[in-house]
Chain A
Amino acid sequence: MILNQFLLLAAVLFSLGVYGVLTRRNGVLVLMSVELILNAVNINLVAFGAFQDNVQGDVFAVFVIAVAAAEVGVGLAMVLLMYRNRKSIDFSEVDMMRG
């Protein structure tokens, strides 16, 4: 089995995700970038699971998928709350507190 391609794909996705989280201002796009990182993790886990020939990686990936769903649920609720209170989901405007 050729492990490298999977790891390379995961590394690219991870980098794209980190770049997205750091540069995007739109709330939904930031959440999508986080999802990219989590899916990079899933690809890694499943590829390593097949490579190591044990099931723990697959189990881990299922847990990551399930928990990520809960996490994004909370995140979208917060984006919605922000939209209700400010009529905008631009994260760069969220800077009432400084120091």
Chain B
Amino acid sequence: MVLSFLAQVEPFERPAIDWHAVAPELILLGFGALLTLLDVVFLERGRKYTSTLAGIGLLATLIPIITLAIDGQDRFLFNDAYVVDNFALIMKALFLLSGYVVVLLSTNYIAEGDYWENEYYSLLLASILGMVVMSSARDLITIFVALELLSIPAYLMATWRKRDLKSNEAGLKYYLMGVFASAIFLYGMSLLYGVTGSTILADIGEVVNEGESTSVASLGIVFVIAGFAFKVSAVPFHTWAPDTYEGAPTPVTAFLAVASKTAGFVALVQLVFVAFWGRADVYQPLLWVLAAASMTIGNLIALRQTNMVRMMAYSGVASAGYIMAPLAIAGVSGEIGDEALRAVVTYLVIYAAMNLGVFGVVMAIARKTKSAEISSYAGLFHYAPGLTTAMTIFLMALAGIPPLGGWWAKFVVFRALINADTFGGYSLAIVAAVNSVIALYYYLSVLRTMWADDAPDGDLAPLRIPPSLIGAMGLTAFATLAFGVWPRIVDTVSDVSLLGLGG
């Protein structure tokens, strides 16, 4: 019986694969496997090469991305489930470069802490691979698998100091929230699949845009957006972020705050623009509330933080609000939709540079003070003027002071909100403007402690910073300055559109 059944089945034919388009993923996978093998074969002797190899792997993966960008052609694989277009390429490059900076941040921290180095970098590469896949995923199943591929290693990395109770707590909270969130959006995805009969985002978009979609589709959209709101730590789903950021090792915090959040937004943007775009009546009010609440509550709680990392966590919640704001007006018209997408991409690129920089400085200072309390930063200017200047650059950029990168990011968000010319757009622009002022206050109070206060117990011994950390801070500071002085750079790379596919 089995044989007769098998005789009926057509022989499996492999779908045509565009190897150039998937080259970045394959190279990254290869380096990840190589790192794992290195540990198995050479044991402790391989340890000192792992971080270098991870860095080389990330930079090598950029090569096919550059050749694909020069080629400039959109590539559709596996029945449109996997798309390599300009949006995918810029996000992949962003993930790889932030990953490289995270490797630079991790090098000495992980080596000196005796923390299972090899496994750390293997997991980091696996997580970045998930993000790279996410940038191209235009299919519910692919989005789900990519999200789990990037999250599961991140849960483990947050728990990296396994005998430290705070690190345990950080990982546990992140894990519980992450799993709960993925269960919620999976339920939403199952409803969307049920209504449309397809998992391909473009097909879902076609059915949803025809207007005959039911309340089940609306319910699916709400569940999916709520699930991703957990991932990007938007209010009211942000409660895990401060505890996880504080308890996790600082390089991992930087990774979560930048790369993991960006990946959540990449998925959200793809879903909104390719699949949900015609249902502005459902997602616009929802995202408006999430954006306004994230900005306001994030900034207000950040005001009373005494720990720098916790403050950055709440500032990250507020930033999630700014990044989400353009999405709340994306459905007004095709032109506004494109502008909103460009604003999101611009903000993500600039945000990565500023935020990684802040965490670099936090780690450099913690090498001496062993603390991230803001009070321990007192008098920093007297013994580490360079670090103080770097921190000033990053925090002022986050606050949006020209000519540092952040002002351009905020400007494009405001421009998109105003150009929408709707009540939603104007009201959200006002909320964002008020919040920029609140944010300025807490960034300035950190800087006042650094520049003006005296060092505790007059300890003015200079700081010794390892070269990789200096490299990381130099790269991010240069990017922050360059993006602010020549916004044209970001403008060129963020010139992308997703609407042609589904809308």
Chain A residues at the B interface, C-beta cutoff of 8 Å:
7, 10, 14, 17, 21, 30, 34, 37-38, 40-41, 44-45, 47-48, 51-52, 54, 56-57, 59-60, 63-64, 67, 70-71, 74-75, 78, 81-82, 85-86, 91, 94-97, 99
Contacts and interface: CB of A to CB of B under 8 A. Distances in A.
A78 B159 contact: yes
B339 interface: no
B469 to A, nearest CB: 25
A44 B179 contact: no
Given A57-B190, A59-B141, 20 more contacts: A34-B179, A37-B180, A37-B183, A37-B186, A37-B187, A47-B194, A48-B197, A52-B194, A52-B197, A54-B197, A56-B197, A60-B193, A63-B145, A70-B152, A78-B159, A81-B159, A81-B168, A91-B176, A97-B246, A99-B307
A71 B44 CA distance: 29
B163 A85 contact: yes
Contacts of A75: 175, 179
A40 B145 contact: no
B193 A56 contact: yes
Interface residues of B, number: 45
B247 interface: yes
Contacts, number: 115
Contacts of B198: 54, 56
A82 B168 CA distance: 7
B242 interface: yes
Nearest to B155: A74
Interface of B: 140-141, 144-145, 148, 152, 155-156, 159, 162-163, 165-166, 168-173, 175-176, 179-180, 182-184, 186-187, 189-191, 193-194, 197-199, 242-243, 246-247, 301, 304-305, 307, 310
Contact of B168 (A34, A70, A85): A85
Nearest to A42: B190
A57 B199 CA distance: 8
A71 B148 contact: yes
B310 A70 contact: no
SS class of chain B's interface: helix, strand, loop or mixed? helix
Contacts of A91: 172, 176
Contacts of B168: 78, 81-82, 85, 94
Contact of A99 (B162, B184, B305): B305
A97 B175 contact: no
Contact of B169 (A54, A67, A97): A97
Contacts of A54: 197-198
Q: Which 3 A-B pairs have the closest CB atoms?
A: A48-B194, A44-B190, A52-B197
Q: Which of B165, B197, B198, B310 has the most CB of A within 10 A?
A: B197
Nearest to B163: A85
Nearest to A79: B172
A91 B176 CA distance: 10
Nearest to B164: A85
A97 B166 contact: yes
A34 B178 CA distance: 11
B243 A30 contact: no
B132 to A, nearest CB: 18
B178 to A, nearest CB: 9
